[in-house]
Amino acid sequence: EYFSSIHEMSNVFIYEQKMLQHIQKFIADNERKLDFLRARLDEYESERSEAQQWGIAYFESPLNKYLLSKRLTVDWQRIENLMAAATGEKPLKRLQRLRQRDNMPKPEDLTGTIDGLLRIQFIYRLQTKHLAAGILDGVAYGMQLNAKQCLEIGQQALTTKYPELAHAWLLEAHNRLSSSDRSKLLPHILGQLVQVKATLSDSRGVNSTLEILKELEPSSGHHHNYEVFLQAQTQIDDLTLANPFKEHEPVPEDLSNLSHDEIYRYTCNGYIKKTPPEERNLRCGYMSETHPFLLLAPLKVEELNRNPLLVLYHDVIYQSEIDVLNKLNRKRYERAGVVINSTSTVSKKRTSQHIFIAATRHKVLRTIDQRVADMTNLNMQYAEDHQLADYGIGGHYSQHFDWFGNSDLANSKCDEMGNRIATVLFYLSDVAQGGGTAFPILKQLLKPKKYAAAFWYNLHASGKGDWRNLHGGCPIIVGSKWVLNRWIREYDQSDLRPCDLWDDSVFNTS
């Protein structure tokens, strides 16, 4: 979807360093040329002023005649050639080549970046004035956005689906106007505000604004005087102060009656969570019951939900194993980069990158699977390939079920291995801010914790998909996220998780 992987960003950051060197070369080449031309200018001027002192007698000397004719032929020709020559072509070509590289951000990546930022702002209810001041969810990053950048974000918020955020960004652009960009940007801000009003079906103050905008148009013949600007200025206040509104909708008092999108959002941002009485019965401790080996090496397990079961195992993957996964990941990734050369494919890969690796590829993958078998008491012979996923800034995976529904069944995704009975999700990295795994119906938000793994069943004992395990990866605010999915299939689990006609979903009403 967009330019987001930290790996790619650091690559193009290095290219930018080279691009700076090419500008330096370009400037140096041109300066040398200008220095040469300046020297000739001085030289010819002094020769001419000498000639002028001589007067007409100057031309009587054959030597002077020679000098003048030489100048006007050979020397001036050289100067003409030099002036006509494209100087700095080489650094320019090199610069262009760098900018044409596949992994350079394209215009659609820029809009994607802004979309990601708006999604983060919307989901985590971040305030525009904080974002513009470089504060992300309470953490200050020591940078500021200028009026023009705020205007650009506001414009895009309007074309996407966030008119309230557009409004807030346009006001922020207005607050951040400097005296030098005021005359240029103010009309744009006002024009966009009028469109926001139209989107919000609020016509108050729109007509008078349109009149002012007409006055501000360069073609209107009016000189841009201070008066009109003052009017425009107060118009912004009229447009907004008269109609104060919130950039984020108020949090509903009753969070139990919302759409899937909304409960997911309120779980990501922490408004939906278990109450202390709901948490009271959950256990936490060392698990040693599933496998004899675990009596020797018990696993630290935290129960996050009882029915349906959702648990988090701590410290169940090692750094040495993550290092191997990283190598396997990188190799595959580079190869994919060579095969895929159409731009859209490249930009799609940037959302969050998923790759599947067969357990046969490396011993470590089989060791991990043995541990998963101990953790889940399930048979790993019928599991899908290991799936590694990378998320960058703003990267997310909206709410979904891991089990296959009827349409997937029809597509025969659910082959002889059956449906996905359970999921084990390993966190291979910490995430600085955001990026939790949200289970809105279970009211749980799992913060990625490196070396930990979440485990849950996707199916009821009857084999029917359990919709209570609706979940998703919340957008990353700061940092990147790397996970490993183990999807375990139904086939051959009957000894371990006996099939049952009994369907526990009937106890859950909604």
Ligand X SMILES: O=C(O)CCC(=O)C(=O)O
- Between 239 and 483, name the residue whose CB sits nearer to ligand X: 483
**CA neighbours closer than 13 Å in the CB half-sphere of residue 501:** 0
**Contact of residue 389 among Fe ion, ligand X, none (CB under 5-8 Å per partner type):** ligand X
Please choose, out of 78-86, 107-115, 313-321, 397-405, the segment that lies near Fe ion by the rule CB under 5 A: 397-405
- Between 156 and 485, name the residue whose CB sits nearer to ligand X: 485
Interface with ligand X, residue 483, by CB under 6 A: yes
Instruction: Compute the least distance from the CB of residue 265 to Fe ion, in Å.
Output: 17
Q: Which residue has the tokens 């705020």?
A: 150
Interface with ligand X, residue 471, by CB under 6 A: yes
- Residue 364 has a CB neighbour count (10 Å cut-off) of 20
Instruction: Compute the least distance from the CB of residue 198 to ligand X, in Å.
Output: 38
Instruction: Compute the least distance from the CB of residue 396 to ligand X, in Å.
Output: 8
Given a contact cutoff of 8 angstroms between Cβ atoms, the answer to whether 122 and 165 are in contact is yes
Interface with ligand X, residue 429, by CB under 6 A: no
Given a contact cutoff of 8 angstroms between Cβ atoms, the answer to whether 315 and 452 are in contact is yes
Q: Choose which of 389, 424, 470, 477 interacts with ligand X (CB under 6 A).
A: 389
- Between 169 and 264, name the residue whose CB sits nearer to ligand X: 264
Please choose, out of 50-58, 401-409, 436-444, 486-494, the segment that lies near Fe ion by the rule CB under 5 A: 401-409
Given a contact cutoff of 8 angstroms between Cβ atoms, the answer to whether 491 and 150 are in contact is no
460 vs 307: CA distance, rounded Å: 10
Interface with ligand X, residue 402, by CB under 6 A: yes
Given a contact cutoff of 8 angstroms between Cβ atoms, the answer to whether 209 and 190 are in contact is yes
- Between 402 and 466, name the residue whose CB sits nearer to ligand X: 402
Instruction: Compute the least distance from the CB of residue 391 to ligand X, in Å.
Output: 7
C-alpha closest to that of 367 among 329, 324, 425: 324
DSSP 102: T
Q: Choose which of 163, 187, 440, 473 interacts with ligand X (CB under 6 A).
A: 473
**Contact of residue 485 among ligand X, Fe ion, none (CB under 5-8 Å per partner type):** ligand X
Residues 159 to 178: which contact Fe ion by CB under 5 A?
Answer: none
**Contact of residue 473 among Fe ion, ligand X, none (CB under 5-8 Å per partner type):** ligand X
- Its sign, for the CA torsion 39, 41, 44, 48, is negative
Interface with ligand X, residue 162, by CB under 6 A: no
CA–CA–CA angle 225, 226, 228 (5° rounding): 75
Cα(first)–Cα(last) distance of the chain, in Å? 35
Instruction: Compute the least distance from the CB of residue 452 to ligand X, in Å.
Output: 12
**Contact of residue 437 among ligand X, Fe ion, none (CB under 5-8 Å per partner type):** ligand X
Interface with ligand X, residue 456, by CB under 6 A: no
Burial degree of 365 (CB within 10 A; 0-12, 13-18, 19+):
buried
Interface with ligand X, residue 493, by CB under 6 A: no
Interface with ligand X, residue 123, by CB under 6 A: no
Task: Annotate 194-207 with b (16+ C-beta within 10 A) or e (fewer).
Answer: bbbbeeeeeeebee
C-alpha closest to that of 384 among 429, 424, 333: 424
Interface with Fe ion, residue 402, by CB under 5 A: yes
Cis peptide bond prior to 308, omega within 30° of 0: yes
Instruction: Compute the least distance from the CB of residue 312 to ligand X, in Å.
Output: 12
C-alpha closest to that of 451 among 358, 314, 333: 314
- Between 154 and 434, name the residue whose CB sits nearer to ligand X: 434
Rule CB under 6 A: which residues touch ligand X? 389, 397, 402, 425, 437, 471, 473, 483, 485
Rule CB under 5 A: which residues touch Fe ion? 402
